[in-house]
Chains A and B, each alone.
Chain A
Amino acid sequence: MKAKSIKVDYLARVEGEGGLYVKVKGRQVVDVKLKIFEPPRFFEAFLRGRSFREAPDITARICGICPIAYQMSAAHAMENAFGVKVEGPLRALRRLIYCGEWIESHALHVYMLHAPDFLGYEDAIQMAKDHGDVVQQGLSLKKTGNELVTLVGGREIHPINVRVGGFYKVPSKGDLAPIAEKLKRARDAALETVRWTSKLPFPEFERDYMFVALRHPDEYPFNEGRIVSNKGLDIAIQDYERHFAEEHVQYSHALHSIVRGEGPYFVGPMARYSLNFDRLSPLAQEAAREAGLGPVCRNPFQSIVVRSVETLYACDEALRIIEEYAMPEAPAVEVQPRAGNGFGCTEAPRGALYHRYRLDDHGIILDAKIVPPTSQNQKTIEQDLWEFVPKHFDLPSDKLRWQCEQAIRNYDPCISCSTHFLKLKIERE
C-alpha cells in the first residue's frame, strides 16, 4: 500500500512548543501522537522544601502564560489545607482579576493566534496587512485585560500582589473607577467579536465529548465549584485524583489524563460553556444565541466563538463586581499553617487547573502535584485528529497539515509550563 507522509517541523501559534506526529496509510490513519516533552513534575520537584507562601508566585512565574490561574489554584489549595476561607470583597477581587486574565488570554488567542487560520493567513502579522483594524481591536481588548490584571494584581514581570489568604494591597472603590470605563468599551468590543467570529467559516466537525468543568450553584465558574461532567460526574475538588488518572505514554514524557474507567475528556472554554450556559450573564447568553450557538457546543472549531462569548462575560462580570465592590478592611485573611493536604482547582483560560500540596506543620511543601489543562486535553486532541484526518484525505498535503494545526489550535494548547520546543510531523505511507 502506498504510504503518504506530511511533516511539519514547527507548530506555530501554540503557546510554548511541542510536537505532533500523524501517520496515514492509504485512506486510513494509523497513528497519532501528540508529544509534550517536559511534564510539570519538573516544577513539582522545584517546589519541594519551599514555603507555602512561595507556591503562588513560583508556579505563576514558571508558567508565565496564565499566571493568575496558577496563583489562584495554588492559593486555594493552601487555604484548603489550612482550613481558611476567603470571602466577601476579597473573594470578589479574585474573580475580578481572573476576569482580566480571561480577557487578555482569550483576546490574544481569538485575534492573534486562531483567527488567521479561518481567514487563510499564515499568522497575525500577515493578517494585519489586510485587516489592520481587526488586529488593533484584538490588541486593544487584550490591553484592557492586562490593565485589569495589573490594577488588582500589580506587575513586575508577573502579578505580584496575590498571596495565600488574599492580597498584599487592595484597591479602593475609586481606584477601580477608571478601568470600569475601559471595560465598558471592551464589553462593546467583545460583543462585536462574538458577532465577527460567528461569521467565520467552520469545518463541519462534531464529537460527543466528555466535558469536564467546575460548576458553582450561582456563578459562571472561576475559582470555586464542584467538578462536573456531562456524563454524570459530580465530585468535590479534593476527590479529583480518585476520579482522574494520568497515564504515561511511551512516545511522550507528558502524562495523558483520563477519567478513570471512562477515558479522555475535554476541559476549557467549550466544556465550561456547555456545562454552565445557564450561569452566563443575560447579555452573554443573548450574544451566544444570536451567534447561532446552542447551550451546548460540540464543534471545537467554534471554540473561537465560545472564547469570544466568555470574553464578553468576563467584561460584564468585571463591571458587575466593580459596581458592587466595597473595599475590605484587611487585604488578606490570617493564615496559620498546619500539616495536611490541600486541594485547589480553578478555571484557567484554557480549562481546569488542579493543584495539590502536602505540607508539614510549618507550611513547608513536602509534595506537589499540578495538572494543567493542556495535559488533560492531549488525548482528546489526538482523538479529534483520528477522526478529522480521514474526513479530509483529499486535501493537498500542505492544506491538510494546516487544518491539523488548526484542529490543535482549537484547544489553545499551552505547553509552556511543560516544554519549549514543539514539532509537528504528519506522515503519509
Chain B
Amino acid sequence: MNLKGKWRVGRLVLLVIFILAVSLVGLGCVKGLVPIGWSGGAVSDGTLFVGSKEGRLVAINLDDESRLWTEALRQVSQSGLFGCSPMMGGGGCGGAAGVAIYGTPVIYGELVYIAGYNGKIYAYNTEGLALRWVYPRENYLEPFVGGLIAAEGKLYIGGTDGIVYALDPATGDKLWEFQTGDKIWGTPAVHGDTLFIGSFDKKLYALNTADGRKKWEFTAEGSIIATPLVYNDVVYIGSFDRNLYALNAFDGSVKWKFTGENWFWAEPVVVNDVIYAPCLDGNVYALKAANGAKVTEYDLDSPVSSRPAIVNGSIIFTTRKGVIYSLDAGTGEIGQLADFEQDVDGPLTAYEGIVYIHTQDLSLQRINPVSGAILRSVSLKSQN
C-alpha cells in the first residue's frame, strides 16, 4: 500500500473512532445506565458489614479499621461490547467491577446475608466471612434491588421477578413464595405476623409471615418501591404518585395521605410521634403521625433518597449530593454538618454515636453528629 492509500485508511479509521467516541460520550453523559449499588451498613459486635460498589461484602472492625472482604459476587454474564449491558453490576461505563449491591446486609444469629443484582442471595459467617449457602444453588434469579429482612426465624426478600421469597436462614431453603404483579425493588417490613412489601404494580401487600398468604392489598396511583415504616399499627409508605400514605396495618384502609412535589423514595423515620419523610423534591416533611398534618418542612436544596439515621434525638439526613444535615427533633433546628461532595443514595448507618455514610468514591465516611467532627474515612477498595 502506498503512502496515499495508508493516509486514506488512516482517515477512515479516524472517522470511525470519532463516531464511536461521539456515541460513547453521548451515552456516557447519561447517568444511571449501569447499576452501581447503594448498600448501607449493618453493625454487630463492633464489626460493620457493607456491600461495596466493587460487589463484595466488606467487614470492617470499627476498633482498628481493619478490613475483611469476601470474594466478589459472580456476575451472570458480561454482555455488551463495551460492558454497558444493564445486567452488569458496577463495571463497564464508569463503575467499579463486580455485581451491584443495593440491599443492606442483614445480620441474624451467626450469619450475615446479602443479596446481589446478579439474582443470588449469599449467607456468610460473621466470623471470617466463610460462605455458608447461596440461594438459588443453581442458576440465577432476576436481580435483587431491595434488601433482606430477618424476623421470626425467616428471611424475606422481594425480587425483580415480582416474587416475595421466604427462606430458612440456616440452610437457604425456600419456605414459601408469593407472586406480585410486577417488579419489587423495595425492602419489606415485618410487624407481628404480617409482612408489608410494595411492588411496581402500584400495590402494597400485607402477607402472612407463616405461609405467605395475602391478608390485604392496597392500590396506590403509582408504583411503590419505598420501604414501609410500621409504627403504632400504621404503615407509612411512599408511592410514585407523590403521596405518602398512612394505612391501617390490619386492613389497609387509608388513614391519611400527604402529597409532596416528587417521589417519597426513602423510608421515613419517626421521632416523638412525628414522621420525618425525606422527598426527592429536596424537602424533608415533618408530619403528625396521627393525622398527617404538616408540622413543618425543611428545604435541603437537593433530593434526599437515603434513609435518615437517628442519633441521640437528632435525625441525620444526607442529600444525594453528599451534604449532611442534623435536625434536632426536640427544637426543630437544622444545621449542616458536612459536605462530602460525593453522591450518596444508600441508607445511613448509626452505631455508638457515629454515622457511617457510603459514598460513591468507594469509601465509608464517618461523622460524629454531636461534635460535628468528621472522622477519617474507611476505604472500601479491595487490595487486588
Indicate, yes or no, whether A interacts with B. Answer: no
Chain B residues with a Cβ under 8 A of chain A: none
Chain A residues with a Cβ under 8 A of chain B: none
